[in-house]
Amino acid sequence: MDDHPIIRDGMTLLLNLQEDLHVCGAAGSADEALAAMKCLPDMAIVDISLQTDSGLELVKTLRHRYPDLAILVLSMHDESLFAERALRSGANGYLMKLEATEHVVSAIREVLAGNIYMSAAMHEKLARALAVPHKKAESQIANLSEREFEVLHLIGLGFSTRDIAEKLNRSVKTIEAHQANIKEKLNIRSGKELTRFAIQWIESQ
Share of the chain above pLDDT 70, in %: 85
Spatial separation of the C-alpha atoms in residues 45 and 182, rounded to whole Å: 29
Spatial separation of the C-alpha atoms in residues 147 and 171, rounded to whole Å: 13
Q: In this predicted structure, what is the pLDDT of residue 194?
A: 92
Spatial separation of the C-alpha atoms in residues 197 and 152, rounded to whole Å: 9
Cα-to-chain-centroid distance, residue 176: 22
The predicted-structure confidence for 40-74, as pLDDT tens digits, reads as follows 999 999 988 765 667 888 899 999 999 999 999 98
Q: In this predicted structure, what is the pLDDT of residue 81?
A: 75
Domains of the chain plus CATH, in order, are 5-129 (3.40.50.2300), 136-204 (1.10.10.10)
Please state the pTM of the whole predicted model: 0.64
10, 4 contact by CB (below 8 A): no
The predicted-structure confidence for 8-25, as pLDDT tens digits, reads as follows 788 888 899 998 899 988
Spatial separation of the C-alpha atoms in residues 40 and 34, rounded to whole Å: 10
Cα-to-chain-centroid distance, residue 118: 13
Spatial separation of the C-alpha atoms in residues 70 and 62, rounded to whole Å: 10
- Mean pLDDT computed over 135-158: 80
Q: In this predicted structure, what is the pLDDT of residue 129?
A: 55
- Type of residue found at 191: G
pLDDT at 34 exceeding the cut of 50: yes
Write down the H helix ranges in 75-171. Answer: 79-89, 101-112, 120-131, 136-141, 146-156, 161-167
Q: What are the φ and ψ backbone dihedral angles of 13, each rounded to 5 degrees?
A: -60, -45
The predicted-structure confidence for 163-186, as pLDDT tens digits, reads as follows 888 888 889 999 999 999 999 999
pLDDT at 28 exceeding the cut of 90: no
Look over the chain and give the mean of its residue pLDDT values, rounded to a whole number. Answer: 83
